[in-house]
Chain A
Amino acid sequence: MIRRVVLSTPVVAIGGALLLTTLVLVVVGVDPAVAYPALIRGAVADGNLEYTIAAFVPTLGMAFAIPLRAGQFNLGGDGQLSAGGIAAAALALLVPLPPVLAIGLPLVVLLAGIWWYADGRTVLGYEIRATGHNREFARYGGVRVDRLAAIALAGGGGFAGLAGGLIVLGPPYRFVDGALTAPGYTFTAVAAVLLAAARPAVVPVTVALLTVLQVGGQGMEREAGVPSQLTQIVQGLIIVIVAVFATVRGRRATE
């Protein structure tokens, strides 16, 4: 029963967001039966998958950067991302680096695995979670919460920088003005982390989902003539729905 309750938030959020999106499509006169297949093709068809992965890597990197697990929010992600990008570009000028697709995906997958292990199976992970759930409880238990919060924020900043580096070192292998912040990696990552309630095993799934949505949105724009900004709408809806469900569930748990 508990498991069902835990699962219900992402299911409700995605279901609700899809429902509302379909409504938007119908209102603006687009056949969802055309739009959704176009969206899927846009994300996973030959040649497009590379773009999806190229977006998945930095978004997952950014997801590590949000220390929600420690009860903190880091919305300065775009700035850190840019800093990382600039640093990586500078580094690449000095040292020859391999193309990012070769190392980017394995790197973030490895990091996701380490994160999952650290969260559930280490003292640090436990203390971070305890702090995130109830800071005063952690302090009472002897956890040095200020130090921990600083570690979480700094670690998050590091991951954001890494994500920026991965973008710059990826195709088209240069520092492009706006390439780091325009695609909204930070917002997508925030939505994915909220959706997964910051559980490390679920975050890669939600990131993949939202990345498919985002990259596929461009395919949908080309094929069905639906503006790709639709994906921003979906993300916004998901965040609001998740926020509401998280508190409703939390209140039910304490009552």
Chain B
Amino acid sequence: MNLLEFSFLSGVLTATAPVLLAALGGLICQVAGVFNIALEGQLLWGAFTAVVVSDLTGSAWAGVLGAVAATVLFSGLLSAASVAWRADPIVVAVGVTLLALGLTAFLMRQIFGSGGTYTSPDLAGLPTLAELGLDVPVLGPLVPLAAVLVAATAWRLGRTRSGLRVRGVGQHREAAEAAGLRAGAYRHGVVLVAGALCGLAGAQLALGNVTLFSECMSAGRGWIAVVAVMLSGVLPGRLLPACLLFGVAEAVGFRLQGAGLPQQAADAAPYVITLVALVLAAVAARRRAPEKGST
């Protein structure tokens, strides 16, 4: 296989993974009827805590676990505000995202003593699959895990008891309660699971895609994930096109930067391309809908 092509493909998959994991978290919330648009904040917090724990312990795996645990904890605030107290999801998302921005930048200065970007030889990045003894170079272990999790989520939601209940809670809260389900508990649960997935996403971003933390490094990936969820029709498999599109655009932008494109343009490219494509897709879908008649 042509190394150049393969490295491009792995670049695409690597860029896709964090967005896909975060979007999966958002999708689970959506299925249970929780409008979670705080993915950006959860993702950033996951990236930061992954770097802190990895730096302290010297173990990337500890970083991954730490990010998952810390982001679940952080999501407790989100679930308390938006599920228990039923606060406006948009306002809460703004607050939580701002809080994540502030907390990471603040703690970064407290812990690492400087702002901007932090990297260090002590900071352990995730190994590639090749280093783990598998015959696949370059890719990190969380990338295939993301794909596996998408399939597992689809199975869980569609085929199991808990999946049916989560879908029920999302469709009609009163009906779920009348059927004896504790709707609130399921909704808290999905927000925390989304936290775990965003923790993984953050770990992949900060320890897999690169090995560093910089302020605002989520850079809108959480918002892209929100859009992917909205376009997915809450089917996990349908997250893939939007997330892969972003991955391709980012990988292309990275290549073009190598070819002399200004950095700002390369940075903006994946977002512009993804959003334009997604808006076009949404418009096309809406055009098609009336022709098909009623659903």
Contact = CB atoms under 8 A, between A and B. Distances in A.
A247 B105 contact: no
Contact of B110 (A227, A232, A240): A227
Contacts of B88: 243, 246-247
A33 B103 CA distance: 21
B102 interface: yes
Given A240-B77, A240-B96, A251-B86, A227 B91 contact: no
A24 B106 CA distance: 10
Contact of A75 (B81, B94, B115): B94
Q: How large is the interface on B (under 10, 10 to 19, 20 to 34, 35 or more residues)?
A: 20 to 34
A247 B85 contact: yes
A137 to B, nearest CB: 19
Contact of A239 (B95, B103, B115): B95
A24 B88 CA distance: 26
Interface in A221-238: 227, 229-238
A66 B88 CA distance: 16
* A187, A231, A234 pick with most chain B CB within 10 angstroms: A187
A62 to B, nearest CB: 14
Contacts, number: 82
Given A28-B110, A227-B115, A243 B92 contact: yes
A117 interface: no
A236 B96 contact: yes
Contacts of A231: 102
Interface in B219-243: none
B102 A239 contact: no
A26 interface: no
A73 B77 contact: no
B179 interface: no
Interface in B176-217: none
Given A243-B81, A244-B87, A248-B85, A229 B102 contact: yes
A180 interface: no
Interface in B62-105: 77, 81, 85-88, 90-92, 94-103, 105
B99 A237 contact: yes
A236 B81 contact: no
Interface string A1-40: 0000000000000000000000010001000000000000
B156 interface: no
A190 interface: yes
B210 to A, nearest CB: 22
A242 interface: yes
Nearest to B80: A244
A192 interface: no
Contacts of A238: 95
A194 interface: yes
Nearest to A236: B99
B172 interface: no
Contacts of A251: 86
B109 interface: yes
Contacts of B97: 236
A243 B83 CA distance: 12
Interface of A: 24, 28, 73, 75, 187, 190-191, 194, 227, 229-240, 242-244, 246-248, 251
11 contacts: A73-B90, A194-B91, A229-B102, A229-B103, A232-B101, A232-B106, A238-B95, A242-B91, A244-B87, A247-B87, A251-B86
